[in-house]
Amino acid sequence: MDVIEDISKSLEIVDTLLELLPPFQARLLSSCVPLSISSLNLIKSKLTALKDLEDFTELNLIFLKGLIEKLLFYLNELLKMITNWAKSFEEEEDEDLLIFTSKFDSFSDILDTIPYVSKNDLISLEKTDPRWTKLSPYSSIFSYSKPKKVLKHYKNFMVQVAVANAFMAVGLEEKSLIEKKIMVGIGAMYYSVFKSQAVRRTKIFIANPRIDVAQNLWNLVDSWMVSHLMNLMMPSVKINKVMYIPRTVSHVLSQENYSLNVNQCFKENSEEDLVMTRFICSFDPVSKEKVEGIFCCAGRRDKTDRKSHHYQLVFHIHGGGFVSMSSASHQVYTRKWAKQLGIPVFSIDYRLAPKNPYPDALDDVWQAYNWVINNAKDQLGINPAQIILAGDSAGGNLALALTYKCILSNFRIPDGLLLGYPALNLSKKHYTPSMLFSLEDFLVPHTFLKLVRSYYTADPSLDLENDIFISPIAASPDILQHLPPIRILVGQNDPFHDDCYRFTEKLIDAGRDVKLKEYEGTPHGAFSFCFVGGVKESYDVLHQSIEWLRELFLIRKE
């Protein structure tokens, strides 16, 4: 059996590495060598247990073989590096070892999940299998005439991400705010010139990530300087206002659904226990009033001369791994939606982990959704007769969870869902081949994915595998059959790629209206690359999202 041979080869290389590494420990006072030895020993024990199995019939051998082949690649790369170290062992080599060790730790975690993977999993089947044939009318691939050029464009963009990551990491090493800003500036200049050093520093950081650095990197667009620069690149809209929405219904996890006071007015200024929301609109939805006049009702309720003139809106939930980013950072595309569709967008700034783990974010979007349904007409001149939920990455997760809550609570279900590369499965027992893309991804690296999941689902009693509010892919047909039309966009090289296909299959089996489009050579996060200096191919994803939003509104009209 080929997979047994690959496991045996892996074990041979692991044994060789365990013989070569100990002598280097004495040459450098570092914890990296023992950490590497410990990680390799763990890999060895798990590979040995797999090799000694008497019955492989219940394992998904396709997945296992692909995983072991990838592991073999990294083991061979480490072996080549160590054999070239000669007699010296400098800090640079120690850092390289740290990078490899972090990858082996992730492989070790993945090996634990192999027994839980179904041998008949969709992704492991041949494309000629009837299950894939069934998917064909509902899914398509957007291909490019020069795919290598597309890959190069995204790779170059990821180098820019590495530059940002590197100079942010330099600044955060300082204690005072002034020193941080000075070092960020110096780091920006240095790493903009020496990009290879930025890539290296990013790989080192990824190997041993810190949540504060990760948050600052992902929140870079929200910084004063960058946000002003980005503002020049984004289309102007007539209304772009931050508002604070009161909580008007019971908590999202409450078994009893009751209203606190449905018709409460929003506030213009932040107050405790309000949900921050951004209202983006390309027109004045209230007849014969100034744009600022829309906000005259803040603090009071006045509907005497507010006639609704619009009946559609997009309710947007941003991504960012549940720990970062905001409605502001996602204006790169939400403004384009508002402008090109001529439809208002409500973008929700839910509370973020680690300060606010699950279910705080979900409760915020639930509260905001209820308020919009009950108050947008009287207070903003928008009658939400048609409402589409849109979310990317973590926002896609929350959009589905919110819809499930509406179904279970017998509350107004949205008229459609637009999901960009959604995070559908947060289970620790989950593995799929597309997750291996995260081993070399600078935006959603494997260590970050584990880190943000641990912060968002901090409560150890949570059922990450079966709780549909945490892992939406776990929803039963009884829930799925009530979902509105759904459109899903995902990149070919996205760690969440495979789950999007699995979820699409479940939706088809539940008789739902669903379409999925995959983009060749595209990594995670394409919506956010649609700006001057970003990636031009990402506009293909944006344009499809606009087309599908139009389609979802038309379906409801019909």
Tokens at residue 246, please?
Answer: 């009161």
The pair phi, psi for residue 282, each rounded to 5°, is: -90, 0
Q: How far apart are CA 473 and CA 524, in angstroms?
A: 19
Q: How far apart are CA 467 and CA 238, in angstroms?
A: 41
Closest C-alpha among 11, 103, 5 to residue 48: 11
- For 309-346, letters b (16+ CB in 10 Å) and e give ebebbbbbbbbbbbbbbbbbbbbbbbbbbbbbbebbbb
Q: How far apart are CA 81 and CA 552, in angstroms?
A: 53
DSSP code string of 299-351: TS---TT--B-EEEEEEEE--STTTS--TTTTHHHHHHHHHHH---EEEEE--
Is residue 393 annotated as part of the catalytic site, yes or no? yes
Burial of 67 (0-12, 13-18, 19+ CB in 10 A): buried
Burial of 261 (0-12, 13-18, 19+ CB in 10 A): exposed
Q: Which of 10, 324, 393, 434 is catalytic?
A: 393
Q: How far apart are CA 75 and CA 46, in angstroms?
A: 15
228: Cα separation from own chain's centroid: 25
- 3 state DSSP class of 241: strand
Tokens at residue 518, please?
Answer: 């995959």
- The strands making up 139-142's β-sheet, listed across from edge to edge, are 139-142, 514-519, 486-491, 416-420, 382-392, 310-317, 345-349, 275-281, 239-245
Side-chain half-sphere exposure of 99, counting CA atoms within 13 A: 19
Measured between its terminal Cα atoms, the distance across the chain in Å is: 56
What residues are annotated to the active site? Answer: 393
